Every structure is written in C-alpha cells, then in structure tokens.
C-alpha cells in the first residue's frame, strides 16, 4: 500500500453537515425556507439569511455553555427556527437531540436525563409540556421558546431555569461563529426510537453518516430533489431527521416548506397551493386528511407531482385514492430511525408499483434475509425472511449501550419480515414480533391486513394475537371502516377465505371508530393487544 | 469532543469503488454493459456476470505480480474488458493508470516510466503503439491484449514481454479474489492531463475522491442517472475516468453502452437505436458527427433524451442544431482532469440555457473568482475573474510532485477565466494563458470566438495572439467554415464591430479546412500559434 506517497493527492473534504447550508447560501441564496403558522400566517427566509442567523445562533448556544459533544434538546414542530437550531448546533459540533412531543413526559424525562440536556428549545405551544419536563429534569438550565408565526407567545415562568424568547437570545447573544474544522465522525444528532414496546433506545447520527445518507438519498431514483422543487416536509423533524429533508433540501437547492404544528388537510392544501409545492413527504394518514379536505371543498393541488410515503405499508386502496384524487405519483418507502432512516424506496421514475412494495435499496444500503436464527437464507429472492441491513448510515451501537446492535458480520436486525422479488423489489411482510403462533404454526398478521385493507369500505386494519387455551394464540381482526361505510363480518371473512389458510381466519372481528395510533403515527398494536386480551 | 464515546455509533462503511459493482451485481444484476465492435458486432454482459469476471481478473492481475499500490497501465477504448480491468484492479487496491493513445509515444513512455507500469493492457488495434512503448519502457513485463468484438486479433510478438490474450489470462489465472478491506484513501486511478502545453502532469484519484465524485454527480440536477437509463459513454475512459460514468452507471443501476473505438456518426446512431440509449455523454464534435450522419441518411434517434456535453464551450449554433436535429436536451458542463472531472453542469431539469453557460457547481464543488494575483474578487457575481476550485474530488498535489497544487487557503487555480451571474450560473470566458496583451490591454479570444462561432456559416473558430512589434501582440482569427458555406472577411468583421472594442478586431483572418485538434478533442491553440506566428 502506498498510502504515504499518495496522502494529499486529492483535497481534504470533511463530510460535515455545515456543507449543505454553505452550499445553499452561496448557490441558492434566495431560495426560501417557508414556515406555516396559525391562521395561514407564514414566515420565509432565503438560505443566505438562514445561514447567517444560524451562525449567530451558534454563538448564542456557545454563550449558554454548550460545547462540542454536548446535546441541545429540541422539542419542536417543523419550523425555520427549529432548522436554525439544527445548523447552529451541528456547525459547532453540538449534537441535536430531537424529542418527540407525543412521548410521555416520563419517557421524555428519561432520555433528557440520559443525554444530560442543559438547554431545551421548544415550540411556543409546547411550553406546558416543557414545564413538566423541567420539573422532572434538574439538568435543564435554559429554556428557549421558538415562536410561531401568527400566534401570541406566552413565556412560562420557571424556577431555576432561564427562559429565552428565541429572537431575544439571537439578538443578545448572537455573535456569529465559524463552522466546521472538526472530524467528520463527530456526532451530529441523537434520536430515540419511540417504539410501541420496550424502553426507547437512542441512535447517534454522525456528520459523516448524515452526509452520506443525504447524498445517497438525493439520487434521481430516490428523493431526486432538484433546485426547482418545493418540498413540503410533513414528516416531523423529530422522526429520524425528518427523513433527512432538512439536509437534502439545501444540498439540492430546493425550497423547503415547513408546516409547523399544522398537519391538517386545510393547512397543508393552503401551503401546497401558496408555495407551489412539487414534492411532499409524510405518512399516509396526513395525505388521507389532505384528500378528505379537498373532497370537502372540491379543491385541487395542481403543483404537487409526487408524494414520498413512509412510516408503514399502506392499503392499495388508499394509495390508489391518493394517486387519483391528488393526481400525483406516490413513492412508497421503508425506513427506520436506525437507518437514518432510508432503507428502500420506489424509484421516482419507475412505473407505479404496488402499495405493498417498498421499493429498492439505493447505493449505500445493503440487505440480507435470514432465518429466525440469523443464518442467511440460501435463496434471497422470492422467500420470506427476517430483514437485516448494513450500510453507510445504519446504527452499529445504541446511545449509551455497551453491546453492539449488529451481528458478527456487521448486519443490523430490523425485526421486520420481508420478501424480495426477482427484480429486487422489497415487500415488508410484517414484524417478526407481530407473528401469531397458533397450534405451533405461524400466522402473519400483515398478510391478512393487506387483504382486508384493500377493501374499499376499510380505512384502517390491524390483526393481533389473543391468548387461547387450545391453540396458544388466535388472531383477532380490528377494523376501522370509512365514515358511513358498512361491511358485514361475513363479507370480511369471505375476502380472506380464498386467500389464506382456513386456520388463519380470525376468531373475532372488532369494529372501532378510531384506531389507536402510536406516537409515530403507526397503529398501536401493543394497546390493541392489551384491549382485546 | 466526545468522539470516544460515540465511536461505533454508526456502522463503518469505507467509500471504496467495489461498492458500485457490488450494488449493481446484487440489485441490477441483469442490467447490461454493451460494447460496440467492428461491423456492428456487439458483446453484452449483465452486472452480476461482470462482477464475477472482474473478481477473477483480480486474481489474474495478482498472479502477474500486481500488488496493492502498483499501477496497471491501460491503453484502451471503452469496452467491457476495459471496465473489468478497472474493477478487477481497484477491488484489490491496484491503481488504474489510464493512457491516452492520442499522446505521442515519447510522452506515453515518460508517464509509463513515472508510474513504473509492469503490466500494460491494450485494445487489440493499439498493439502497434504498445510495441513502440515496450521498446521504450523496460519496466513492462506483461502485455494483455483486449479483443474487439467482430475483429480478428493479431497478437504481437514481443521480446522480453509475455503477451496474453485477455480471455486466456482470465481462464488460466482467473482465481477470484475478495475485494475491499483497505482504507478509502487508497489510490484508485492515475490520469495524466494531456494539455496542449507543458509536460503532462498526473492526477491520483483515491477511492474516496472517486466515490464522492460519483454520488455528488448522481444528483438529479447533475447526471441524474436512473435504473431506467441506457447511457452511451462516448467520452473515452482515459479522459478523467470517462467523466465518472463507469462508476455512476453501476451505482445507479443504469445500462452502459460502450462504443469501443467507433465514435463515427453511423456507429453511434446504430448503438443508440439498438440499445435504446436515453443519455449520451461526449464532446461536441462527436455529436456533430452524429447529426451529420442522420442528415445524410434521414435517420432519427427517438430513444435519446439528453446529451451531456463537455470538453470545451460550444457555439450556440451548434448547440441549437443538436437540440433540434436530435430532439434532445443538451446539458453543457465544465470540468477538468484535476476535478475528477465535474466542475459545473447545467441542471438536467432546468429550462434550456445558453451554450455559453456551463451550469452550476453541485454540492461537493466550491468556486472562487480571484484577480491575477490570486486575491478573491470582492464581488463574486457579474465580474470576470480567474477561477479557483475546492472540493471533495479536486487535486491537491500532482503525482510524484513535492509541491502542493493549491494555494494557502486550499484553492486549486484552474487557469480558466469565468463570470458567474446573479443566479449562480457559471460561464467560462477563456483561458488565462490564452489572453492576448495588445498595447498593454487584454483581449479575450473567447469573447470573439463566441460571436464568430454563433454565425451559421462557421463550424469551428479560434483566436490566437501573434507577436507584433508595435502592440506587443495582436489577434488572428482562424475559422473553419461548414462544408459548402461561404462568408466574407467583411461579414466576419461586421459581426464583431458592434460587439467588441475596435482594437479587438483581428489583424488577419485565416480559413482552414480542418482545425487542428489536440488529443482531448479541443482546438490545438499551441499549434495555431506556432503556425501563424
């Protein structure tokens, strides 16, 4: 190896996240980041000005005592100030610890404690939750309140903690700091998975892993963002980096539209039409709300070309409705907090696929199907297996853990079941832990859910196991029909009869008006199991 | 900094080039690499099989004594076996030293000597040149002859050197080797710039710099390749990595079409139509030949959507003709061997620009305009300056040199002049060394060339300086009119009169039937200067 003689052959270029906003400020300086607020109010800023404010925020954060490696707690909706907090923090090596406001105060206090957050930045309407957390978390010394366009801000009165209005902090302490100059393996983000079971586990993203995730994700077959796109980020920034869009937007010079806390159909329709949104990202329920709203008012969203859908697999009927009602292309995808989050995505330029397919892995992500013991399946195509992942932006070890999260060959076990077809298209077929063991044989709830979910009367569906003295476990079918739709038990069972083994037919059918959802927007199966025990 | 506590947070993932072909083999295994040969013959192979053969070639190269850090000499047209040589070499840390067959044997022998090549792989029709080189280069011990589809191979008889037919080498020595496992800063490629002046200088690409170049270039606004593209690589692989397409093709899962040594209009039209080419890359003269051929036979290339044009700025008339005759979108670009090569590119999705514009830098490339002394221009927009570059895939130090090729702030001086408009669009306005100093003031030949080149009668144009006793230097205009086209001296001067200062008007006008071209396809100004001295 002649590394010594070629050191310095090519220029050093650290893969750090400040590159994205530097690039956007210099080459797309007038392209805007727009934040939606209350009553249709918006604030907007160009990337040049956003960079300048973020560098001033770096100085302010430093003045509050945040040093490289420290964690900035962020309990906030998608907004300009939230994005300034990201770049202001990571530019000086401070780690963004995003907190999900839908987690319980106890869970949140636990992870704030783990990360030793001394500064907490919160959206104005989340200050009541912040007050609870401050009472539980003695580490917190500063509370920074991010204001919302169009809404009055009431600052809480907290003992022991200094409360700052965001703009006041910027004005009083905002001495611009230069960015970068540290190693690309420096941590940049911390995100705890808000799974439905077990205690939350934290994933530490590094500058390098997020940079690589961004450019792998920017490939034309994945997000494919361009400088002519206007991107609605309806996935919260506290969910796995907002799917990386606050990084890939400026990297591509795309306009970003951040909806604040307003994810209802009317607010989103208004933002899409006012800001000429071309690409929108979020979970299915959000776009269902948009379609419902447009149906109600008879509206359209003509600028919208594409929806990047993630979070969970969707029924074909829902996908068809979105594509037809919104006149868009739906890109299904699969990801996890542990994957930064992109695992697979339907190519933006491919013929429209089936809703059950989650697409293909981009360069930078590799997949392996194994049996229950973790041994690679000898045949990787056309067989269901447990899905393991390796890649440039995949977790190796959870925050604060000693044990590795990967196996001896470096694969991370996702806990998902999947089938990969001959052409390399991945279908997530279920969660290994959701499998129901009946009479010693496995029933896969996801297969039943796909069939029932395809019925036009059904909005949401879940199958969970119930303890059974004879069989060990038996399946229960829980459905939420569309408003006003009716379907008999017999019709539901009929739909299944020709498609699954007879012993897979559910023992009971439950109708609910509102399916319980977990903090990620996924159906809360843990709660369903407890309820229909 | 808490690097210690976060080491191992995310998985290790070395940015090495074997990733591209691994990804293609696993996820796009049936997508083909097609090579055009003599008389319309082709050979084709899927990425899976290409990977398997390349791994066997690794074993064969090892058996010939090539160890990590050694250079494999490659004197070859674009073909499957050439591509297998690339991946077979880099997969085990051997460096691909691409040689330009249009350079003189003396120049080639000099750089073979510098790189101490012991193995030389050559296209079958280049064996006469190889024999000359072997006579000049005692380091060469093995000659591997890459055969051409549809053409007989005559093996040369060389003293001292073992001559291998490529397939024979694979068969006899092709024990597959595993790839990777080395540092991403390991050298991967060596390419000497075949400039028109001075002695050739080598650029050492590393795995990391080429990997980053590939994914930066794959952004939707740059090459934007997808798995549904069929890409005609009409830029030689010995020109700055074939613009990186042998890397980005498999990385995106795109089909690659390699024309061998056949770059004439008829061969290219045939390949485009047979292989459903959607994107083609090469210099303007190649596409001009294609348009001429289609005019002659009344043919069309309906599958072709886009041409990536590079090498030199083109007259507007030529670009208009290509866009209209071929019914394609032309993407202009600017690059250099030292930039791997991408510097700027017109976004694939933007409205069609002017031929004089070279586009915008993608993420990973940064630009600075300076004065003649290297000081940054205080205003970077709307002013002409000398262009400097910094980035992830930009040279820092030439091969074998002790001195750095960058300034104190890390910028590489391209020697080009450029203007950047308000929106960040870059126009290369000339070469600093081509400027003509007349009466103490500067004349920029490129500005005169742009005006004359836009005239419908003119195929190629160059302005060079001639020594003048009174003014120091005075401009000479050299034009190559289109076949059958006529234009008077007065008409040429008239075109200039209202557009440039009167003292910029050339002192003499020369008409040539064939403009002298350098080995890169650019006009050989050095020769023109010598001729019209």
Concatenating the DSSP letter of every residue in B357-419 gives --BBPPTTEEEEEE-TTSPBPS--SSSEEEEEEEETT-BSS-TT-SS-SB-TTS-EEEEEEEE
Residues B67-91 have a mean pLDDT of 98
pLDDT at res. A525: 87
Phi, psi of A167 (to 5 degrees): -65, -30
* Torsion (CA) B418, B420, B425, B429 in degrees, nearest 10: -20
Q: What is the pLDDT of residue B193?
A: 85
* B347 contacts A11? CB cut-off 8 A: no
Q: CA of A166: how far to CAs of A59, A100, B453, in Å?
A: 13, 20, 57
pLDDT tens-digit map of B279-337:
999 988 899 899 999 999 999 999 999 999 986 667 788 888 999 999 999 999 999 99
Mean pLDDT, residues A244-249 taken together: 98
For residue A275, indicate whether it is catalytic.
Answer: no
Range of weakest confidence among A414-418, A454-458, B427-431: B427-431
The pLDDT value recorded for residue A218 is: 98
Other residues' Cβ atoms within 10 Å of the Cβ of residue A330: 22
| B491: contact with A, CB 8 A cutoff | no
pLDDT of residue B1: 35
Q: What's the pLDDT tens digit per position in B15-54? A: 999 999 999 999 999 999 999 999 999 999 999 999 999 9
Higher pLDDT, A93 or A439: A93
In the block, which residue shows the tokens 């209009």? B265
Question: Which residues from A are below 8 Å from B206, CB to CB?
Answer: 6, 9-10
Residue with tokens 């006012």: A274
Q: Which of B239, B190, B195, B246 is nearest to B217 (CA)?
A: B246
Q: Are B11 and A212 a contacting pair at CB < 8 A?
A: no
- Residues from chain B contacting residue A2 (CB–CB below 8 Å): 68-69, 187
Whether residue A471 lies in the annotated active site: no
Q: How confident is the model at residue A522 (pLDDT cuts 50, 70, 90)?
A: confident
Q: Specify the pLDDT at position A127.
A: 96
Which whole number is the average pLDDT over A6-22?
A: 92
| pLDDT, tens only, B216-242 | 999 999 999 999 999 999 999 999 999
For residue B187, the distance in angstroms to the closest alpha carbon of chain A comes to 7
Q: What is the per-residue pLDDT across B411-459, written as a single tens digit (0 to 9) for each?
A: 999 999 999 999 899 999 888 888 888 877 778 888 899 899 889 999 9
Nearest to B69 among A2, A183, A395 (CB): A2
Question: DSSP character for A395?
Answer: B
Q: What is the pLDDT of residue B198?
A: 58
Which one of A3, A69, A350 has the shortest CB-CB distance to B2?
Answer: A69
Q: How far is B455 from chain A (nearest CA, A)?
A: 33
- H or E element, residue B466: strand B458-468
Identify which of B1, B252, B361 has the shortest CB distance to residue A27. Answer: B361
pLDDT at B311: 65
Closest CA to A115 of A99, A130, A104, A135: A99
Question: CA A494, A500, A501 angle in degrees (round to 5)?
Answer: 110
- What pLDDT, on a 0 to 100 scale, did the predictor assign at position A508? 93
Q: How far apart are CA B119 and CA B110, in angstroms?
A: 15
Could you confirm whether A193 is annotated as catalytic?
yes
At residue B258, the 3 state secondary structure works out as: strand
Show residues of chain B in contact with A401, CB under 8 Å: none
- Sort out which chain B residues have CB atoms less than 8 A from A226's CB and list them: 220-221, 347-349
* Interval A33-62: pLDDT, tens: 999 999 999 999 999 999 999 999 999 999
Per-residue model confidence (pLDDT) at position B312 = 65
**What's the CA gap between A448 and A465, in Å, rounded?**
12
**pLDDT for the residue B194:** 61
- Please check whether residue B405 touches A, CB under 8 A: no
What value of ipTM does the predicted structure carry?
0.89
Lowest mean pLDDT among A64-78, A198-212, A234-248, B340-354: B340-354
- A29 to chain B: closest CA residue: B423
The shortest CB-CB distance from A390 to any of B11, B227, B399 is to B11
The residues with which B460 forms a beta bridge, in sequence order, are: B480
Task: Answer whether residue B4 shows pLDDT above 50.
Answer: no
Beta sheet of A412-420, edge-to-edge order: A365-370, A384-391, A412-420, A426-431
Q: What is the mean pLDDT of chain A?
A: 92
Residue B279, strand partner residues: B231, B306
Question: For residue B314, what are its two tokens?
Answer: 């083109």
- How confident is residue A196, by pLDDT bands cut at 50, 70 and 90? very low
Q: What digits encode the pLDDT tens for the residues A352-399? A: 777 778 999 999 999 999 998 899 999 999 999 999 999 999 999 999
> How far is the alpha carbon of A240 from chain B, nearest alpha carbon, in Å?
14
| Run of H or E residues at A50 | helix A47-63
Reading phi first (left if > 0) and then psi (alpha if -120 to 50, else beta), residue A103 is in beta
Interface of A with B in 260-279 (CB under 8 A): none
Residue A353 near chain B (CB below 8 Å): no
Q: Which residues of A touch B347 (CB under 8 A)?
A: 226-228
User: Could you tell me the sign of the dihedral formed by the alpha carbons of B132, B136, B141, B144, in that order?
Assistant: negative
Q: Is A149 on the interface with B (CB under 8 A)?
A: no
Can you read off the two tokens belonging to residue B333? Answer: 């670009």
Give the pLDDT confidence score for residue A498 in this predicted structure: 80
B219/A220 CB distance under 8 A:
yes
Q: Are A248 and A217 in contact (CB under 8 A)?
A: yes
pLDDT of residue A4: 40
pLDDT at A410: 96
The count of CB pairs under 8 A between chains A and B is 206
A442 is catalytic: yes
Distance from CA of B491 to the nearest CA of A (A): 40
Q: What's the rounded Cα separation, in Å, for the pair A280 and A305?
A: 8
Of the candidates A353, A361, A358, the residue with the CA atom closest to the CA atom of residue A219: A361
Residues from chain B contacting residue A407 (CB–CB below 8 Å) = none
Q: What is the mean pLDDT of chain B?
A: 92
With 90 as the cut, is the pLDDT of residue B533 above it? no
Cα–Cα distance for residue pair A362/A254, rounded to 1 Å: 21
B239 Cα distance to chain centroid: 4
**Per-residue pLDDT, A438:** 83
Average pLDDT over residues A22-33: 98
pLDDT in tens, A119-153: 999 999 999 999 999 999 999 999 999 999 999 89
């Amino acid at each position: 190896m002649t590394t010594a003689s070629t050191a310095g052959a090519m220029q050093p270029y650290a893969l750090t996240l400040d590159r994205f906003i530097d690039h956007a400020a210099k080459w797309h300086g007038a392209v805007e980041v727009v934040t939606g607020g209350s009553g249709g109010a918006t604030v907007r800023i160009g990337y040049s000005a956003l960079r300048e404010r973020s560098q001033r925020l770096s100085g302010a954060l430093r003045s509050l005592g945040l040093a490289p490696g420290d964690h900035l707690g962020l309990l906030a909706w998608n907004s300009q100030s939230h994005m300034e907090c990201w770049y202001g923090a990571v530019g000086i090596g401070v780690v963004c610890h995003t907190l999900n406001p839908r987690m319980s105060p106890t869970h949140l206090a636990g992870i704030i404690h783990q990360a030793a957050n001394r500064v907490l930045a919160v959206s104005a309407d989340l200050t009541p939750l912040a007050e609870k957390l401050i009472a539980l978390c003695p580490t917190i010394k500063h509370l920074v309140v991010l204001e919302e366009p169009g809404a009055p801000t009431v600052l809480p009165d907290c003992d022991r903690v200094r409360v700052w209005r965001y703009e006041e902090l910027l004005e009083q302490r905002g001495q611009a700091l230069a960015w970068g100059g540290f190693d690309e393996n420096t941590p940049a983000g911390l995100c705890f998975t808000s799974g439905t079971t077990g205690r939350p586990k934290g994933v530490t993203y590094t500058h390098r892993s997020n940079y690589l995730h961004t450019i792998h994700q920017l490939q034309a077959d994945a997000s494919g963002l361009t400088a002519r796109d206007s991107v609605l980020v309806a996935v919260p920034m506290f969910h796995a980096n907002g799917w990386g869009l606050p990084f890939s937007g400026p990297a591509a010079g795309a306009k970003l539209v951040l909806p604040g806390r307003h994810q209802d159909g009317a607010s989103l329709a208004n933002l899409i039409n006012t800001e000429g949104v071309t690409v929108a990202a979020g979970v299915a329920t959000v776009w269902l709300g948009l379609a419902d709203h447009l149906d109600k008012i008879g509206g359209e969203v003509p600028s919208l070309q594409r929806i990047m859908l993630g979070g969970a697999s969707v029924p074909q009927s829902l996908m068809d409705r979105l594509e037809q009602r919104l006149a868009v292309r739906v890109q299904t995808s699969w990801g996890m907090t542990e994957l930064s989050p992109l695992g697979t995505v339907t190519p933006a330029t491919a013929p429209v696929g089936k809703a059950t397919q989650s697409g293909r892995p981009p360069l930078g992500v590799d997949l392996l199907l194994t049996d229950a013991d973790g041994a690679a399946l000898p045949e990787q195509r056309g067989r269901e297996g447990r899905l393991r992942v390796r890649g440039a932006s995949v977790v190796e070890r959870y925050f604060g853990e000693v044990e590795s999260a990967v196996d001896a060959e470096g694969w991370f076990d996702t806990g998902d079941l999947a089938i990969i077809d001959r052409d390399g298209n991945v279908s997530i077929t279920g969660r290994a832990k959701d499998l129901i063991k009946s009479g010693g044989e496995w029933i896969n709830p996801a297969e039943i859910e796909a069939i029932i979910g395809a019925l036009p009367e059904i909005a949401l569906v879940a199958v969970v196991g119930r303890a059974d003295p004879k069989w060990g476990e038996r399946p229960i079918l829980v459905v939420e029909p569309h408003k006003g739709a009716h379907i008999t038990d017999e019709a539901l069972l009929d739909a299944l009869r020709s498609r699954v083994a007879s012993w897979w037919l559910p023992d009971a059918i439950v109708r609910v008006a509102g399916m319980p959802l977990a903090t990620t927007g996924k159906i809360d199966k843990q709660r369903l199991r407890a309820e229909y025990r």
